[in-house]
Each structure stands twice: as C-alpha cells, then as structure tokens.
C-alpha cells in the first residue's frame, strides 16, 4: 500500500505536467538566454575533454581535483543502470518515439548543466576541514537573498543524501548482484560482500581515491561498451536507416511501431523519453555540479563546457549505443500486449547477437553493468558526502561511510522496489530547490559567459551576488 502511494506521487512528480515541464522549460530558458551555448561552446568542450584526458592525473586533495578528474567523477555518476535499463524502459513503455524526446531533453539539458556548473564554481568554498566543496546547497544558501534560502539548501542536502547516498546506492548494488547471479550464478551475498568491501576501501581514501578510480575506470568502461556496441551495430548496418526513420515516425505516431502493441500515445512517448533521459544524464537535478565544483580551473566556463560534454557522452553516445543495439538486433517482441523481454535481459539478449554469442552477451553486459553501477555508487557517495559536510561538518563523514557501506550490502540482498520508488521521489523533490536557485541566479551565469567571451579574467568576488527572490 505504501509502495502504491509513493508510486502515485512519482507519477505526478515525473509526469508531463510537473518535473518534465519544469526541467525542459528550464533547459529551453537557458538555451535561449545563453544563446545556444551547447552548440557554440561544443567545440571548446570537445577540445577541453580530449586536451585534459589522462589516466594518471595529479592526485586530488583538499584543494580540489583536476578538470578531467571532475568530469570523470560526474560521468561516473551519470553513466549507470539508467543507460541500460532506463533506455529499454523508455523503449518498451513509450515506444521507439520516446528516444526522439530523450534526445530533445538531453539537448536542452546541456544548457541547464552548463548553468549549474558555473554557479557551483562561483559559490564553492572550503569546509571546516579545509576541503574545497560546492554544489546546489552552497549556491542556494549563499546566492539567494531570502529567509527561506537556508531551509531550501538544507532540504536539498537532505534529499540528495537520502536519494543517492542511501536508497539510490541500494538500487545500484542490487543491479550488480542480480546481474552477476543471472550471468555467472554468483550468490547475491557474495557479490554484496565484495562490493561493500571495495567501496569501504575507496570511501576511506576520500576524494583522492574516488578521483583516481573515476579517471581510470570511466574512460575504459565507456570506450569498451561503445566499441562492442558499434561492432554489433555494424553487423546490422542495413537496419540502421529503418531504425532512425522509426524513431522519428513513432515520436509523432507511436502506433507505427510494433503494430501499436505498446498502446503508447505521443504523451506517453514524451513522458518516458524525457523522464528517462533526464534521469540518466541528471541535468537540472543538482547532482553532478558537486564534482565540477572541485575542479581546479582558471575560469568557471572552462569547466562548465565539460558539463555540456558529460550530458552528450551520457545520452548521445552511451545511451544511444544501447538503443541502436537493441533496435537493430530486433529482439523486442510482444505477447498479449506485454514485452517478452524487458530491462537488463533485453540488453543482454541484444548483445548476444552475432560476435558475442549467448554466454558472451550475457556475461559482457553483466560486467559492464557492474562497472557502470559501481562507479555510480562512488559518484553518488561523493555527492552525499559533500552535503553531509554542508549540513553537519567533516566529523560526520565517517558515520556516512559506515552507513553507505551497510546500505550497499543490504541492497545486494533485498528486493527493493519500494526503495527504488523512494529514490525516485527524493530525486524529484531535490530538483525543485535547485531549479529555483539556478533560475534566480541566471543573471550571474549570463554575465559570466559574456565576460568570458570578452576575454575578462575571472575573480570570484565579481560574481557572488544575492538577488531578491521572495
């Protein structure tokens, strides 16, 4: 009964008339105000991404991390089970037309993420232990001239600790243990114990260890998944034009796909495509700016353009690989209006075609799922840690580490549909204070971008301002 209640709340929160409209509207607002920054700064972002590429960057510490380590940590959090399971959920529930709306949401989300990162850099500060930290809680509390600002910041901080640090990480751990049990027959308790142990070691190492792991694993896992996916797509190359045509046709005529078996409407396609896309790339949710705030760069725009690239990599590269492998492999079938295969099983079946074979496909996807979910756990823990530092101070970080390790192990063992629903709900709730702040502080972002284009040097004091809001 409680699960049904939370599910009903999520249907409204993540429905077309609330968060989807707010997030897309905010993305459109920043796209226009920042003069299509995701297009005109794309080349700069590409140059900085590959120009800073390194598997052995300078060790992160109290003063922050390298620009590449920051974007790797952000992508670690973004590229997770949503790129596999989320993509197939959108396909099954909304039809292939949902992918078109996913692309639209990601394009707008690039501008939103750019604005979030600019503000995270401007309002970043040092905590009581001397660590350089930043994120929505900081630009909400320090940027909004309102008696409600600290309340909004505390609400955001608490929501992200619960949504990502605890419940979200339980779900990621469960995905790993389920995948390894299905592919290799490994007991869930064994996977959970191993995962909890390596998480504990990395958590204790702090930001230095998290940055080190992220900068090494993220590029390798992404390149491997994309490379194998491209091989399978090449075997089905003759089907790709039809797949692209189907995506565009089904976006406005969902019944064109699979004989209308899904019963999807345009509204359904929009809902699942946009919601799953935003959930995957996290643009506007206020999570990834925590990583970018710690980057050591000369100007916030230098890091913000990497936010554009992180959304691009997440949705237009990694998630699209899943979509095109599944659609070109022709593994989606329906019986009595229900899909025969769903979720991770659908992705595994698609990767089993051609080169990999059945065992190889299921094993490869399980391993990719492990690395995707594992790095997401690290990223989400780091975001939770920053907000614990904001709310309670550095002395409470050890308590958080113990709790998250416990939640990771418990998540590996349990069937946690209710926990997943709760994570969705708190994810939705933390969006609200973040959107209020970035829209209210949009003049700061506009001024920052104009000054950067004019070649002005950055000084933090020139941009920290407090607009009247309430």
Identify whether 171 is part of a domain: yes
pLDDT of residue 42: 94
Please name the residues in contact with 361: beta carbons below 8 A apart, sequence gap of 6 or more: 348, 349, 350, 351, 352, 353
- Both tokens of residue 439? 């829209």
CA 216 from centroid of its chain's CA atoms: 18
Identify whether 99 is part of a domain: yes
Identify whether 465 is part of a domain: no
Q: What are phi and psi of 65, to 5 degrees?
A: -140, 175
Identify whether 2 is part of a domain: no
Closest alpha carbon to 247 in 312, 328, 308, 337? 328
Identify whether 265 is part of a domain: yes
- Structural domain harbouring 169: 18-45+64-446
Other CB atoms within a 10 A radius of the CB of residue 393 amount to 12
CB 111 within 8 A of CB 37: yes
Work out how many domains the chain is built from and give that number: 1
What's the Cα-to-Cα distance from 346 to each of 84, 332, 357, 396, 453, rounded to whole Å?
Answer: 9, 8, 14, 42, 46
pLDDT of residue 465: 59
pLDDT of residue 56: 47
- Both tokens of residue 50? 């590959």
What's the Cα-to-Cα distance from 184 to each of 16, 77, 220, 364, rounded to whole Å?
Answer: 40, 26, 22, 11
Identify whether 463 is part of a domain: no
CB 120 within 8 A of CB 434: no
Q: What are phi and psi of 285, to 5 degrees?
A: -85, -15
Backbone CA torsion sign across 34, 40, 42, 46: negative
Identify whether 4 is part of a domain: no
pLDDT of residue 434: 94
Identify whether 10 is part of a domain: no
Neighbouring-strand partners of residue 65 = 295
pLDDT in tens, the chain (470 residues): 677 888 788 888 877 788 888 888 999 999 999 999 999 999 999 888 877 655 545 544 455 677 878 887 787 777 777 777 778 878 888 888 889 988 998 999 999 999 999 999 999 888 777 778 899 999 999 888 777 888 999 999 999 999 888 888 888 888 888 778 877 788 888 989 999 998 898 888 877 777 777 777 778 888 888 898 898 898 888 899 998 998 998 888 877 666 555 666 777 778 778 877 777 788 888 888 998 998 888 899 999 999 999 999 888 998 899 899 989 888 887 777 677 777 777 888 888 876 667 667 778 888 888 888 888 888 899 899 999 999 998 889 899 999 999 999 988 887 666 777 777 788 888 899 999 999 999 999 999 999 999 988 888 777 775 444 43
CATH of the domain at 161: 1.20.1740.10
Q: What is the dihedral of CA 302, 307, 313, 318, to 10 degrees?
A: 150
User: Residue 361 and residue 308: Cα distance in Å, rounded?
Assistant: 31
pLDDT of residue 337: 67
pLDDT of residue 9: 85
CB 52 within 8 A of CB 296: no
pLDDT of residue 59: 47
Phi-psi region of 130 (alpha: psi -120 to 50; beta: other; left: phi over 0): left
User: Residue 304 and residue 309: Cα distance in Å, rounded?
Assistant: 9
User: Residue 355 and residue 455: Cα distance in Å, rounded?
Assistant: 51
pTM of the model: 0.89
pLDDT of residue 213: 76
């Amino acid at each position: 009964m409680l699960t049904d209640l939370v599910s009903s709340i999520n249907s409204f929160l993540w429905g077309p008339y609330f968060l989807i409209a707010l997030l897309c509207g905010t993305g459109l607002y920043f796209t226009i105000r920042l003069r299509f920054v995701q297009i005109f700064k794309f080349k700069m972002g590409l140059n900085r991404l590959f120009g800073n590429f390194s598997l052995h960057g300078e060790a992160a510490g109290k003063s922050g991390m390298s620009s590449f380590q920051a974007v790797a940590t952000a992508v670690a959090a973004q590229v997770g089970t949503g790129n596999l399971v989320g993509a197939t959920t959108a396909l099954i529930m909304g039809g292939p037309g949902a992918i078109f709306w996913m692309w639209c949401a990601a394009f707008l989300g690039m501008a939103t993420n750019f604005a979030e990162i600019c503000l995270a850099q401007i309002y970043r500060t040092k905590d009581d232990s001397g660590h350089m930290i930043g994120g929505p809680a900081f630009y909400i509390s320090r940027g909004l001239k309102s008696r409600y600002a600290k309340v909004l910041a505390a609400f955001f901080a608490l929501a992200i600790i619960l949504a990502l640090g605890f419940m979200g990480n339980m779900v990621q751990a469960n995905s790993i243990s389920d995948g390894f049990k299905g592919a290799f027959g490994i007991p869930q308790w064994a996977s959970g114990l191993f995962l909890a142990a390596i998480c504990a070691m990395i958590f204790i190492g702090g930001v230095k260890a998290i940055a080190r792991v992220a900068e090494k694993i993220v590029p390798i896992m992404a390149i491997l998944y994309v490379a194998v996916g491209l091989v399978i797509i090449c075997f089905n190359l003759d089907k790709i034009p039809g797949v692209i045509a189907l995506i565009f046709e089904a976006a406005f005529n969902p019944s064109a796909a699979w004989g209308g078996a899904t019963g999807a409407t345009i509204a359904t396609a929009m809902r699942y495509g946009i919601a799953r896309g935003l959930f995957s790339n996290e643009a506007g949710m206020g999570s990834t700016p925590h990583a970018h705030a710690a980057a050591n760069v000369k100007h916030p725009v230098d890091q913000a353009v990497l936010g554009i690239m992180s959304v691009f990599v997440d949705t237009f590269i990694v998630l699209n690989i899943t979509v095109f492998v599944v659609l070109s492999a022709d593994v989606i079938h329906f019986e009595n209006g229900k899909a025969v295969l769903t979720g991770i099983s659908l992705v595994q079946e698609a990767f089993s075609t051609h080169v990999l074979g059945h065992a190889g496909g299921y094993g490869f996807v399980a391993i990719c799922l492990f690395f995707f979910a594992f790095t997401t756990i690290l990223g989400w823990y780091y975001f939770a840690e920053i907000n614990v530092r904001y709310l309670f101070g550095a002395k409470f970080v050890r308590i958080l580490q113990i709790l998250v390790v416990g939640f990771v192990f418990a998540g590996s063992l349990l069937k946690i549909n209710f926990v997943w629903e709760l994570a969705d709900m708190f994810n939705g709730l933390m969006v609200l204070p973040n959107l209020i702040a970035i829209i209210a502080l949009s003049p700061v972002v506009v001024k920052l971008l104009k000054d950067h284009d004019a070649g002005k040097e950055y000084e933090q004091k020139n941009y920290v301002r407090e607009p009247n809001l309430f």
